[in-house]
Amino acid sequence: MGRHHRNEETRPAFTWPQKLLALGLMVAAIATVIGLVVQWPPNEDPPVSDAFSQTSGMTGELVEGTVAIVQPGMCGSSSVGQAFEGAPVTDPNAPAECTHAIVDLTSGPDEGQRTLLEVRPDLPGNPDLQPGDEITLSTHVAGEGYAFQDFQRSGVMWAWITATVALIVLVGAWRGARSIVGLAITLGVIVVFLIPGLVHGGSPVLLALTCGAAVLFAVLFLVHGVSWKTASAMGGTLLALGLSVILSTLAVHSAGIRGLGDDNNLNILIYLPGVSISGLMLAGMIVGALGVLNDVTIAQASTVNEMSELDPDASAWQLFRSAMRVGRDHIASMVYTLVLSYTGVALPTLLLLSVSGRPLEQVLTSDIMATEILRSVTGAMALVLAVPLTTAIAALTVRDRIPQFSA
C-alpha cells in the first residue's frame, strides 16, 4: 500500500505522449488561426467575367408563382412569358398542339398579374405542371418576360431538415444536439471562409487545409467533449489530412488531370478566370476526405478508450493490436463504401460512358472518370493510414500513466 501510495504521488500530471500530443495540437491551432487571418477573403466583389451576367442562367431575377390553369393551347402564343391580366391571347382556329399553364405571379414587379408558360410535347424534360403547383420563374436575359425555372421546395425541404434534426436529437440525445451545432459551424466556415476565398483566387489547397483544420478544432471538442480520446482523434485526423494533401497533389499532377471533362469546371474556367481548376479539384479531394477521416478516427479513438477502461492493465501495444482488429473492419467497409458513394453520384455519367462505344480502359482513364477514381483512391489511402495513426496515438495517450509497450 505504501509503495502504491508513493507511485501515485510521483505520477506525472501528464505523460510524455500526452505532452507531445498537446504541443502538436497547440502548434496546429496557432497555424490554423494564422491561416484564417492571412487568407481571410476581402470584403469586396469577386472578379467575375462580364459574360457571366449575360450568358449564365444563374444570375436572372427569380419570382414566385402558382399554376392556376393547365389547358391545351396553340404553340407560339404571343402571351408566352408576358405579364397580363385576365386571359392570354390565343387563336381559336389554331391547333392546340401545346400545353398552356397560366401562372399567377405572387412576387416581383408584376405581382398580382399572370403569365403564360408553354409546354411543348416534342421537347424532353419539360415540367409536368398541375394546377396548384408553386413554382419559380426566371426573367429572360433581355429582361422581358418569364420562363419556368423550378418548383418551389422550401416547405418540403424544411420539413425534411426538421425531421432529420429531430431524429438525430431523439437518438443522439445531448451529443446529437451538439452535432447539429457542429454542422452549423461547419457550414458557416465553408460559406464565410472557404467559398469566398476560392472565388477571390486564393490558394485552393491552403484554403481547404485551413478550413478543414478550423472545422476540426471548432467541432470535435464541442461534439465529443474535451478528453484525450478526442485529442487523439484530432491528432490522427490532422496527420491523415496532411497525408491526403500530399497524396491528392501527387495523384493530380502525375495523371495530368485537367478537370475539363466536367461542365461545372468549364464554367469556372470561363466565368472565374482567377480560380485554378486543378487547385479546385485538390480542394474538393481534401474536403471530401475530411468527412471520412473524421468518422474513422473518432471510432478508433473511442475503441481504444473503451478497451482501456475494460482492461486497465493492458499495455499500449495490447490496446493497439486489439483496436487494429476493429480498425481493419472499418477499413474493409469504408473502402467499398467510397466506391458505392461515387457510383451513386456519378450514375448519369456512367450511363453515358457505357454507351459511348469506347474500350473500358479509355473510359476509365478519361479525364472525368480518372478524376473521380483518383478522388476515391486518395481518400481510401488517407483513410487506411488514418487507422493505425489514430490507434497508436490513442493507445499512448488515453490513460494518465506512462505507457507500457510489453505484449
Whether the pLDDT of residue 6 is over 80: the answer is no
Phi, psi of 142 (to 5 degrees): -75, -5
Whether the pLDDT of residue 178 is over 50: the answer is yes
Return the pLDDT at 172.
86
What share of the chain in percent tops pLDDT 70? 90
User: Which amino acid, residue 346?
Assistant: A
Three cell numbers written together for 292: 471520412
Three cell numbers written together for 333: 467497409
Three cell numbers written together for 311: 482492461
All residues at 6 or more sequence positions from 208 whose CB lies less than 8 Å from its CB, including other chains: 194, 282, 283, 284, 286, 287
Q: What is the DSSP string of 117-140?
A: EEE-TTSTT-----TT-EEEEEE-
Q: Residue range 352-362: average pLDDT? A: 78
Instruction: Render pLDDT for 330-346 as a digit per residue (tens, 0 to 9).
Output: 888 877 777 777 777 77
Q: Residue range 379-403: average pLDDT? A: 84
Phi, psi of 13 (to 5 degrees): -60, -40
Q: What is the DSSP string of 42-90?
A: PSS-----THHHHH-TTSS-EEEEEEEEEEEE-TT-TTBT-EESSS---
Residues 397 and 21: beta-carbon distance below 8 Å: yes
Task: Give the torsion through C-alpha atoms of 319, 325, 330, 331, to 10 deg.
Answer: 110
Closest CA to 295 of 353, 359, 190, 223: 223
Q: Residue range 181-198: average pLDDT? A: 93
**CA distances from residue 370 to 2, 259, 347, 357, 377 in whole angstroms, order as listed:** 66, 9, 15, 18, 10
Q: Residue range 264-293: average pLDDT? A: 84
Return the pLDDT at 231.
93
Instruction: Render pLDDT for 301-332 as a digit per residue (tens, 0 to 9).
Output: 999 999 888 888 888 888 899 999 988 888 88
Q: Is 324 helix (H, G, I), strand (E, B) or coil?
A: helix
Instruction: Render pLDDT for 31-82 as a digit per residue (tens, 0 to 9).
Output: 999 999 999 999 888 777 766 666 666 666 789 999 999 988 888 888 888 8
Phi, psi of 334 (to 5 degrees): -70, -30
C-alpha to C-alpha distance for 197 and 33, rounded to whole angstroms:
15
Mean pLDDT, rounded, of the chain: 84
C-alpha to C-alpha distance for 354 and 316, rounded to whole angstroms:
51
Query: What residues pair up with 80 in beta bridges, in sequence order?
Result: 116
Return the pLDDT at 390.
94
Closest CA to 381 of 212, 277, 246, 254: 246
**Extents of the domains making up the chain:** 2-39+180-397, 60-154
pTM value is 0.80
C-alpha to C-alpha distance for 165 and 179, rounded to whole angstroms:
10
User: Any idea which of 108-117, 146-155, 196-205, 252-261 has the lowest mean pLDDT?
Assistant: 252-261
Return the pLDDT at 341.
75
Output the CA torsion sign for 278, 279, 282, 284. negative
Whether the pLDDT of residue 406 is over 60: the answer is no
Whether the pLDDT of residue 1 is over 50: the answer is no
